[in-house]
Amino acid sequence: MFSKKITTWGTGALLGLGLAMGSVGVQAQTGNCEYLVTNDWNSGLTGAIRISNTGDSAIDGWSVSWEYDNNQVTNAWNTQLSGSNPYTASDMGWNGTIQPGQSVEFGFQVNKNGGEAEAPEVTGDVCAGGTSSSAPASSSSSVATSSEASSAVSSSLASSSVPSGGEQCDWYGTLYPLCQTTESGWGWESNESCVARSTCESQPAPYGVVNGGSSASSSVSSSVSSSQSSVQSSASSESSAQSSASSSSAPSDDLTFESLRNLAEFPVGVAVPAGNETNSILDDDPTGEGQREIITQHFGQITAGNIMKMSYLHNQRGNFTFGNADALVDWALSNNIGVHGHALVWHSEYQVPDWMNNFQGTEEEWVEALREHVIGVASHFAGRVDSWDVVNEAFVDEGYRTDSIFYENMGERYIEEAFIAANEADPDADLYYNDFSMENGQPKFDNAMAMARDFVERDIPIDGIGFQFHVFVDWPSTSAMREVFSEVVDLGLKVKITELDIPVNNPYSDNYSYPDNYISEYTDEAAQAQKERYCSIVEAYLDEVPPELRGGVTVWGVFDSDSWLIEQTFDNNHDEWPLLFNDNFEPKPPAQGVGDALMGLPCQ
């Protein structure tokens, strides 16, 4: 399920088409035009049109038109879109010039309206024939977005000139000049677009600075896809000491591998802030950029830490506010990153909207209200979300959490009703029950498993169990983890580690006493213990969970100081270092520990 929602540009999806150039363009140009389906699901798709200049002079301005029989464009990016079938798309100025042998792409999302993906003919003057360009188009740029506008931009400007010294930037398969004075992002020098060395070096292998065809450096890339066709972003970004610190080569001195996500056949994920949250990954600042670079290099799936919960998406009954969540999901899909939805139903009072906290009705009316919420959210993201935490934290050690507003009004029935509704809304998504403090086994784990067995016996749709894994270096035992993994596997359900973090201090340990006795610095000893712990958890997961039942492993946060643990577990008394990357966006020993386990190396 994870893999089928991740697609790449490919000639198998293209259709040969004609293309039109705008009135400002050079006449009698020859180009090749491709219609690409980049992601196809039951109700819709995302696609792109690629314009390649196969002539001998520059194209200066372009526009294209196409028409569907049944499909409908719902949003577009990197273009000015007009019309409502037929559609006309024109350049945005910054992507209007196409040099000979180079290409430009723009993207769009389509509602299939119950039909199949169509292959419309694109018409115009510039694409009168010719062959495909030998240089593939670039489709990424290191730019950020405003989360309010749900947008950003992905530049495919290109230039074929070579700067002094013979070095160029291989930007995802297209050669550009290296900037001589621009320190970061994209620049405009000597009347042409160029890429700053630091930005070029931030791509994954095999791309980067090249000299004579060989790559000189590679690391991470960051590109943000717009969900609004009217928003235009600059193709350059400000440099800073913090963002510079985050750009390290991969494999680097600190890691023996290039990318965590490339070491696993299952999702290696991370939880992220977004929308109006502090440190949103879509913010146009060094923190947003640094996080995006880490995510695009190392993680194949993201989880929204907050903005896909009930109070964010459904604050008034029947009035759904999807803007911020759509921006995050669109960004993820544009970067070939999957999405795990968190969470459809959670009892926490501050995450339940006022309309539901104040709702008065019979049990059946409560069930109907719950179904409206679950179906409304899950159907909106159907085809774009890999999986959901359908119900979160419904148990305590003694049994069902009876102080939940859902339990108070529907009893335990609300859990199965939520799973049934989620399956109706998106039958292709994996559905998980998610909880904390189950890693050590009973009693909470036993309660959850009793429910899961009952669901399986009665054919209530459930695909897996999510273990949050807010654990410590010294708790729980690895043998306990293995036992709970094995028990879920024996039931035929998937296992997903959903919220993994490991602080160096254990506030519940007899050895911890703030301010008298605690680990106050991230010493080599603390880092090594943390590295081995991360490694042993992933190792146990791989040993006990067969490939077909691996739902993935997600770390709860990108960089250390953004972790929820510092405030909510340690009362902001001191620093903790619970995650894989530090505040300079550099990998820590635990990142190597996860990589070691994924590569089958011993945990040491």
- Domains in the chain with CATH codes: 3-215 (2.60.40.290), 267-598 (3.20.20.80)
List beta partners, residue 36. 48
Res. 419: pLDDT tops 70? yes
Q: Which residue has the higher pLDDT, 167 or 513?
A: 513
Whole-angstrom distance, CA of residue 512 vs CA of residue 61: 66
Burial 228-241 (b: 16+ CB within 10 A, else e): bbebbbbbbbebbe
The active-site residue out of 499, 539, 544, 576 is 499
Res. 113: pLDDT tops 70? yes
User: What per-residue confidence (pLDDT) applies to 102?
Assistant: 79
Would you call 412 a catalytic residue per the annotation? no
Terminal Cα-to-Cα distance of the chain (whole angstroms): 33
User: What per-residue confidence (pLDDT) applies to 199?
Assistant: 72
Confidence of residue 29 (pLDDT cuts 50, 70, 90): low
pLDDT digits (tens, 9 = 90+) for 498-546: 999 999 999 999 999 999 999 999 999 999 999 999 999 999 999 999 9
Residues 6+ apart with CB under 8 A from 577: 503, 504, 522, 526, 527, 530, 560, 588
Q: Which residue has the higher pLDDT, 413 or 191?
A: 413
Confidence of residue 39 (pLDDT cuts 50, 70, 90): low
Confidence of residue 254 (pLDDT cuts 50, 70, 90): confident
- The sheet with strand 72-77 has its strands ordered as 15-17, 31-40, 44-53, 103-111, 72-77
Which two three-digit tokens encode residue 295?
């995510």
Which two three-digit tokens encode residue 269?
């994920």
**268-272 vs 550-555, strand pairing mode:** parallel
Res. 455: pLDDT tops 90? yes
List beta partners, residue 363. none
Helix (H) or strand (E) run with residue 108 in it: strand 103-111
Average of pLDDT values for 204-227?
47
Which two three-digit tokens encode residue 524?
């080599």
Which two three-digit tokens encode residue 349?
């009072």
Res. 131: pLDDT tops 60? no
Q: What is the longest distance spanned by two Cα atoms in the chain?
A: 80
Average of pLDDT values for 364-374?
98
User: What per-residue confidence (pLDDT) applies to 204?
Assistant: 58
Whole-angstrom distance, CA of residue 168 vs CA of residue 156: 16
The average confidence (pLDDT) of the chain is 81
Would you call 393 a catalytic residue per the annotation? yes
- DSSP helix/strand/coil, 26: coil
The active-site residue out of 293, 393, 532, 586 is 393
Q: Which residue has the higher pLDDT, 216 or 99?
A: 99
Confidence of residue 48 (pLDDT cuts 50, 70, 90): confident
